[in-house]
Structures are given as C-alpha cells and as structure tokens.
Amino acid sequence: MTARAASHVLLVAPHEYRTNAETAESNVFQRAVGEAEAERLAADAILQHRPCATS
C-alpha cells in the first residue's frame, strides 16, 4: 500500500476568537475572562493569525 498525503492545505481564518461556553468546562486551554480581557485577547489572536493586520 502506498502512503498518501495531501498536496495542499487550506487554512480558513476564524470570524472571531472567543471562549466557547459549550466546551470550556472540559477544555483546559479555555478560561472565563471579562469582556475587556476577551476583546484584548481577540485582538492579540488576530495579530498572531495575520501579522500584517492593523488594529
């Protein structure tokens, strides 16, 4: 049997970055934060996702 691998990968940027209340209970990487902190984290995530993006 021949090994197979994708020749291309499509990455889709999320519309926004937020904690998912449905999965936060079982996901150790999520934690509840206030609205101001959520906005700051979302802005940081977008800058990390798109280094050329401006705020």
CA nearest neighbour of 42 among 15, 16, 13, 11: 16
Residue type, 12: V
pLDDT band at 54 (very low <50, low <70, confident <90, very high): low
Residue type, 19: T
Residues 6+ apart with CB under 8 A from 39: none
42, 52 contact by CB (below 8 A): no
pTM: 0.51
Mean pLDDT across 32-55: 78
pLDDT band at 51 (very low <50, low <70, confident <90, very high): low
Half-sphere exposure of 6 (CA within 13 A, CB side): 3
- Using the predicted structure, report yes or no on whether residue 17 has a pLDDT greater than 70: yes
Find the DSSP H helices in the chain.
21-24, 35-49
